[in-house]
Amino acid sequence: MADVTVGDDVLDLGEDGLLRCSWAGGTALYRQYHDDEWGHPVVADQRLFEKLCLEGFQAGLSWLTILRKREAFRTAFAGFDAGRVAQFGPEDIERLLTDPGIVRHRGKITSTVNNAARALDLAAECGTIAAYVWSYEPSVELRPVRVTREWVGAHPTSPESAAMSKDLKRRGWTFVGPTTVYAFMQAMGLVNDHQDACFARARVEAARAALTRPATTRLGR
């Protein structure tokens, strides 16, 4: 793995000869996540809820740290089934605080339980979590002509992530700041922030083009 310059951009050149986003070098786990998951559009409510929770846990940490613990998180939080997590009580929180497989942060654990209840409310109001989330997808006209490492680094938030963050907070969600929400949007395919010369960009763009988007709504706004 090595950084290479392509035009005015910097990417990671893997041992397999593929150009990837500059952040994707390092471990095989990170490369696999970059290649097969990051940016691919998701409309499954359980995965969307999971990612919002894990992005909250990432605050102050690296995504690689969370990725390495993801299976343990799934076990600890009932597969991120919002209905089950919403039923967690004080004894569950104390149990989770002793679980070495996850990030043992009381505020983030209690936030996940709270957000599970809020997710159920959101689904009840909007039909699905996906319908709500995808209503914040930016229009093509608002996206950059080229996505480079410099552009991504200079845009850790977006007007849409700020709006979604504000609305989620109004609904009682926690650990959903604009930066956290934008990272969620990048990962779940609401935007394609793979760098232009990254081999995965075209695959993600094709998946986004083929996606049947949920009927979107922003009730109560």
pLDDT at res. 100: 96
The phi and psi torsions of 11 (rounded to 5 degrees) equal: -130, 175
Handedness of CA 103, 104, 106, 111 (dihedral sign): positive
What dihedral do alpha carbons 138, 10, 179, 69 form, nearest 10°?
110
**If residue 13 lies in a helix (H) or strand (E), which one and from where to where?**
strand 9-13
The reply to whether 55 belongs to the active site is yes
Architecture of the domain made up of 2-60+127-210: Orthogonal Bundle (1.10)
Catalytic residue among 23, 63, 150, 205: 63
- For residues 208 and 191, give the distance between their C-alpha atoms in angstroms, rounded to a whole number: 9
- For residues 173 and 202, give the distance between their C-alpha atoms in angstroms, rounded to a whole number: 34
**If residue 9 lies in a helix (H) or strand (E), which one and from where to where?**
strand 9-13
Q: pTM to 2 decimals? A: 0.94
The reply to whether 136 belongs to the active site is no
With a cut of 70, list the residues of the chain below it in pLDDT. Answer: 1, 217-221
pLDDT at res. 140: 87
**207-216 contacts: CB < 8 A, separation 24 or more?**
207/40, 207/41, 208/41, 211/41, 211/43, 212/43, 213/43, 213/134, 213/137, 214/43, 214/127, 214/128, 214/130, 214/131, 214/134, 215/127, 215/131, 216/131, 216/132, 216/134, 216/135, 216/137
Catalytic residue among 55, 134, 136, 137: 55
The phi and psi torsions of 15 (rounded to 5 degrees) equal: -65, -20
pLDDT at res. 218: 54
Which of 82, 218, 36, 58 has its CA nearest to residue 137? 218
Count of residues making up the chain: 221
Structure confidence by residue, pLDDT tens digits, 38-70: 999 999 999 999 999 999 999 889 999 999 999
Which of 46, 14, 45, 48 has its CA nearest to residue 32? 14
